[in-house]
Amino acid sequence: MKIVGVCACTVGIAHTYIAQEKLEKAAKKAGFEARFETQGSIGKENALTPEEIAAADLVILAIDVKIADRDRFENKRVIQVSTDVAIKSPNKLMEKAKQIVENA
Protein backbone atom coordinates (compact mmCIF):
# COMPACT_ATOMS: atom_id res chain seq x y z
CA MET A 1 0.00 0.00 0.00
CA LYS A 2 1.20 3.50 -0.83
CA ILE A 3 0.48 6.43 1.43
CA VAL A 4 1.30 10.09 0.95
CA GLY A 5 0.47 12.98 3.20
CA VAL A 6 1.16 16.34 4.72
CA CYS A 7 2.19 17.24 8.25
CA ALA A 8 1.68 20.79 9.53
CA CYS A 9 1.30 22.16 13.05
CA THR A 10 0.30 25.61 14.26
CA VAL A 11 3.85 26.85 14.77
CA GLY A 12 5.29 24.80 11.91
CA ILE A 13 8.28 23.47 13.76
CA ALA A 14 8.43 20.62 16.28
CA HIS A 15 5.11 18.79 15.92
CA THR A 16 5.28 18.95 12.12
CA TYR A 17 8.54 17.01 12.00
CA ILE A 18 7.75 14.67 14.89
CA ALA A 19 4.47 13.69 13.19
CA GLN A 20 6.29 13.08 9.92
CA GLU A 21 8.87 10.85 11.59
CA LYS A 22 6.30 8.87 13.61
CA LEU A 23 4.07 8.29 10.59
CA GLU A 24 6.93 7.21 8.34
CA LYS A 25 8.19 4.75 10.97
CA ALA A 26 4.71 3.33 11.60
CA ALA A 27 4.11 2.92 7.85
CA LYS A 28 7.42 1.11 7.41
CA LYS A 29 6.61 -1.16 10.36
CA ALA A 30 3.24 -1.98 8.73
CA GLY A 31 4.96 -2.76 5.43
CA PHE A 32 3.60 0.30 3.62
CA GLU A 33 5.39 2.72 1.34
CA ALA A 34 4.90 6.24 2.68
CA ARG A 35 6.13 9.76 2.10
CA PHE A 36 5.09 12.92 3.89
CA GLU A 37 5.49 16.52 2.88
CA THR A 38 5.94 19.06 5.66
CA GLN A 39 4.51 22.55 5.62
CA GLY A 40 5.88 24.79 8.30
CA SER A 41 7.52 28.05 9.16
CA ILE A 42 10.04 27.64 6.33
CA GLY A 43 7.44 26.63 3.75
CA LYS A 44 7.03 23.29 1.98
CA GLU A 45 9.69 20.63 2.34
CA ASN A 46 9.81 17.24 0.62
CA ALA A 47 7.03 18.37 -1.72
CA LEU A 48 4.95 15.51 -3.09
CA THR A 49 4.93 15.09 -6.85
CA PRO A 50 1.71 14.73 -8.85
CA GLU A 51 2.87 11.20 -9.75
CA GLU A 52 3.29 10.22 -6.09
CA ILE A 53 -0.16 11.55 -5.27
CA ALA A 54 -1.74 9.76 -8.25
CA ALA A 55 -0.12 6.44 -7.25
CA ALA A 56 -1.16 6.69 -3.59
CA ASP A 57 -3.87 4.45 -2.18
CA LEU A 58 -4.53 6.90 0.64
CA VAL A 59 -3.65 10.40 1.85
CA ILE A 60 -3.03 11.17 5.52
CA LEU A 61 -3.22 14.80 6.55
CA ALA A 62 -1.74 15.28 10.03
CA ILE A 63 -2.52 18.95 10.27
CA ASP A 64 -3.53 21.59 12.80
CA VAL A 65 -3.76 24.45 10.30
CA LYS A 66 -4.88 25.10 6.73
CA ILE A 67 -2.39 23.73 4.23
CA ALA A 68 -1.35 24.97 0.81
CA ASP A 69 -2.50 23.11 -2.28
CA ARG A 70 -4.99 20.86 -0.51
CA ASP A 71 -6.92 20.53 -3.77
CA ARG A 72 -4.16 18.18 -5.02
CA PHE A 73 -5.84 15.46 -2.98
CA GLU A 74 -9.31 15.78 -4.53
CA ASN A 75 -10.69 12.40 -5.60
CA LYS A 76 -8.34 10.58 -3.19
CA ARG A 77 -9.26 8.80 0.03
CA VAL A 78 -8.17 11.12 2.85
CA ILE A 79 -7.76 10.66 6.59
CA GLN A 80 -7.36 13.93 8.47
CA VAL A 81 -6.11 13.98 12.05
CA SER A 82 -4.30 16.42 14.31
CA THR A 83 -0.52 16.20 14.59
CA ASP A 84 -1.13 15.14 18.20
CA VAL A 85 -3.00 12.00 17.06
CA ALA A 86 -0.27 11.23 14.52
CA ILE A 87 2.40 11.53 17.21
CA LYS A 88 0.58 9.58 19.94
CA SER A 89 -1.09 6.83 17.88
CA PRO A 90 0.73 6.34 14.56
CA ASN A 91 0.33 2.56 14.56
CA LYS A 92 -3.44 2.78 15.13
CA LEU A 93 -3.60 5.30 12.31
CA MET A 94 -1.87 2.84 9.97
CA GLU A 95 -4.36 0.13 10.98
CA LYS A 96 -7.21 2.50 10.16
CA ALA A 97 -5.56 3.34 6.82
CA LYS A 98 -5.35 -0.35 5.95
CA GLN A 99 -9.02 -0.90 6.83
CA ILE A 100 -10.12 2.03 4.70
CA VAL A 101 -8.18 0.85 1.66
CA GLU A 102 -9.28 -2.79 2.07
CA ASN A 103 -12.95 -1.86 2.48
CA ALA A 104 -13.02 0.53 -0.47
Closest CA to 93 of 11, 9, 20: 20
Rounded distance between C-alpha atoms, residue 24 and residue 22, angstroms: 6
Q: Are 38 and 7 within 8 A, CB to CB?
A: yes
Secondary structure letter of residue 25 according to DSSP: H
Is 9 marked active-site?
Answer: yes
Q: Which of 5, 21, 22, 1 is nearest to 79 (CA)?
A: 5
User: 26 CB contacts (<8 Å, ≥6 apart)?
Assistant: 90, 91, 93, 94
User: Which one is catalytic: 7, 8, 9, 81?
Assistant: 9
Active centre residues (catalytic):
9
